[in-house]
Structure 1
Amino acid sequence: MADVCTPVAVVTATDDGLPHGTTVGSLTSLSLRPPMVALALERRSRLLPKILRSQRFGVNLLGAEQADVAREFASSAGDRFGRVAWHPDDGLPRLREAPGWLVCELDRQVPGGDHVLLLGRVARISGTRGAAPLVYGRRTFGTHSAAAPTPTRSLADRITAFAH
């Protein structure tokens, strides 16, 4: 599965007034009516019981320039939120620089091997700025080539490249 590219997001929850979050590469759109997403967390995830208690979670959709944020939230570092700009939004931790934000209500959980699939009803979407998405594939972060910014070349450069 290392060859399969996946979108990268930071999923967050609040527990006892504290922010919690982790990087996921398992986010997918599930339904348009009603709007729903699905994501998988390991059974031993520290975030999973917090989401199950609160019955809600936030999804910070990361942009192509945010591989460092993805690595931070994938690490076992204690205070991940001390290293990134964030603020509470609808009672959930929202990363300031994330180009997209979803507030989700937990609809159900489905066991799946060593993971639990969480199905969330999207209550609110905001901040989707059309940034190139951060994806993960072949054990590296990047973006979809069509979404990647391309350098502007002069007409002379294009003609020279075409001639060769």
Structure 2
Amino acid sequence: MSARARLQGAFREAMASVAAPVSVVTSMTGGLPHGATVSAFASLSMDPPMVLVSLDRRSGLLAVIRESGSFGVNVLGATQSSLALAFARTGGTAKFDGVSWQVDSGLPRLPGAPGWVACDVARLVEGGDHVVVLGDVVVAETTAGEPLTYHGRAFGTHAILEAAS
């Protein structure tokens, strides 16, 4: 095994030990919804409000976002792992078959997701085999619900620790 392959394997294991939020990033083109599950999503700036998502450079969704200039982030809740799995597979618009969704700010929104952020693309940044999409937030909404997280190659949720007395 090459040194590069060993490093990639070690890096993959290290990243599996990091808990990450699970989100479905969506966009529209030609009146059709597109989406993909991502765990590389984060807040970037409060002033102005910005987020970032990372997409594989071969992603069909990335091509749609480049064309449309906007994207939505559905931050999934603990009861939505089936949605995360559905949007993690390949399949273009077929991922929306049998899935409830609505248009919000011109973007596909998944009802029941505790977090929703609609963005205009601010910039695309090349990064290895991925592209980091920087978004200017135009809408942000939350509802009650425990978050869906991904850690150790498994879905879970956040548990609040009791405060020390």
Q: Which runs of 5+ in 1 are unaligned?
A: 148-164
Contact 1:85–1:97 (CA<8 Å) still a contact in 2?
Answer: no
How many residues in Structure 1 have an aligned counterpart in Structure 2? 146
Q: Scaled by the length of structure 1, what TM-score is found?
A: 0.86
Corresponding position of 1:159: none
Q: Which structure 2 segments of 5+ residues have no match?
A: 1-14
Quote the offset at 1:111 in angstroms.
Answer: 0.3
Higher helix proportion, which one?
A: 2
Choose from 13, 23, 33 the match for 2:27. 13
- Aligned-partner SS, 1:63: coil
Identity of aligned residues (%): 51
Q: Distance in 2 between the 1:98 and 1:7 partners?
A: 12
Distance (Å, rounded) in 1 between the aligned partners of 2:85 and 2:160: 24
SS of residue matched to 2:37: strand
Aligned match for 2:131, one of 116, 134, 142: 116
Structure 1 match to 2:57: 43
Tell me by how many angstroms 1:82 deviates.
1.4
Q: CA deviation at 1:130?
A: 2.9
Q: Deviations over 1:34-74 (max 9, x none)?
A: 00001100000010011011110011110011111000000
* RMSD of aligned alpha carbons: 1.2
* SS of the residue 1:52 aligns to: helix
Give distance in 1, aligned partners of 2:146 and 2:160. Answer: 9
CA distance in structure 2 between the aligned counterparts of 1:83 and 1:138, rounded to whole angstroms: 29
Q: Does 1:2 align with 2:16?
A: yes
Q: Indicate which of 111, 133, 136 corresponds to 2:147.
A: 133
The correspondence of residues 44-59 of structure 1 with structure 2, limited to 5 A, is 44-59=58-73
Q: Which residue of 1 aligns with 2:5?
A: none
TM value normalised by structure 2: 0.85
Matched to 1:91, the amino acid is G
